[in-house]
Structure 1
Amino acid sequence: MRRLLGYGAVLALSSVVWAGSASALNWVTVADPPNDEFGSAYRIYGMSYALDQGKLYYSIRTVFPESGHMGADSYAYTLIDPGDLWIRAGGNVYGLAFTTHANVVQQAYPGAWPTVTKGNLYSNAVFADGTLEQYEEWMSWRGITPTPSDGNLYDGQNSYPTLIRNYSQEISGQSGVQWVTVNGLPWTYEITGYMETSALGLDWGEAFDLFWAMECGNDGAMISGTMPIPEPATMLLIGAGIAALGLSRRRRATR
């Protein structure tokens, strides 16, 4: 996959309640332009993330339903499914399955697709690309560069990572993926869930990227962040706790 460019502008840090959680989270949000897709049925309005107690929460604002949408890509008129969540964490690529891959467009990628479990994480993930190959070129005819861009408007290939094609390890224990219906807002759904930062191998100060698009790649959104480094006072408390634990063990050993 080419380097994705033009991540968008961070709008705000806000404290909101994540769907299905009783705790308030501080969300970072990146808006996605509402005019960089063909057909309003594929529109993505933005992505958010929040970090709390070893969990990386995500929220995707879209009108695209969990059940998919009948539409045309560069190969056929068919049912277009939601894509999987692409994650780059500490330099490694992971995929979080948003579907079971029961229905996928295989014209561009013939052969057996891997079995995945919705909500599970997959390490060393290799992704299929979007199947609306002329997406960026057609957008350029409108004078629009998609956000994010895959880096080449005119090559006739859609390089958005969409569905997990291969992986080395399945990692369970993440939250379920939820399509939460919202009312009174431009978007219809917020796709929400979380991943354990330990499962992603994320350490303090390490960067991560999240990207999502539907199977055809007729819109995409990306957000980036960094694992916060604990304040010095917190580090002192951690150090004191480790020292106290070691002293307690030594005392028990000498009894």
Structure 2
Amino acid sequence: MNTNASASNDASSSPGSTRVALVTGASRGIGAEIAARLAADGFAVVVNYAGEVASAEALVAKISEAGAKALAVQADVRAPNEVRRLFEAAESAFGGVDVLVNNAGIMSLSPIAETDDATFDRQIAVNLKGSFNTMREAAKRLRRGGRIINLSSSVVGLLQPTYAAYAATKAGVEAMTKILAKELRGREIAVNAVAPGPTATDLFMKAKSAEVVERLAKLAPLERLGQPEDIARVVSFLAGPDASWVNGQVLRANGGII
């Protein structure tokens, strides 16, 4: 595991004095926007990435230049031992973890009849098992009063053709969200999920024609695609003090598409 840190303040000083957020899959897209927003909110941020080292380091530099603390940590969420080292790196740098944002995910679309085993298994491994791995570790390590925020998807409700495997992984994430919220009784840790609708990211735009993108943008009554900052604002709310009474919920941030 490669660990890269860059911060404008001493990350190891006064452990516990700053709230710490760990964001998986944070090197680009929605994850990067969430990490930047939480840093602006005053969190020290752990920017997890799988392979996009240059993007992760650029984000850390951006956060540090703004006067916040940040650390880039490479880890594959599919591997339990790497997830443990991810949390250990956060604890070593900042003294603990208060917020976990489960953003890492992949999406491959095809009808069920045409979905091969490798495609199905990879989505299960990253989206479902990866979220399970980080939730399991967070359940053991998060400080009292912490937050776990999982990224689901509004496709769980839309149930569109070709989205079966992806939607199944996100439905599983929603189920684990609600169960873990109950299992953490007595620790003042809230567990919630955010379910974005169509959002203008590389993941969403991949292999879609301009006509398809335009059609999807018009589906919501607000008649536009979501932007990464729209999702980051919802995560910011759930991570902050105003959401202290929100627990075991799935917030659909989708412009009213469903």
Instruction: Give the TM-score range, shorter chain.
Output: under 0.3
TM-score, normalization by structure 1: 0.26
Query: Which one has more relative contact order, counting CA pairs under 8 Å at least 6 apart?
Result: 1
TM-score w.r.t. structure 2 length? 0.26
Return the structure number with greater strand share: 1
Q: Hey, which of these two has a bigger chunk of helix by percent?
A: 2
Instruction: Flag the structure with larger Rg.
Output: 1
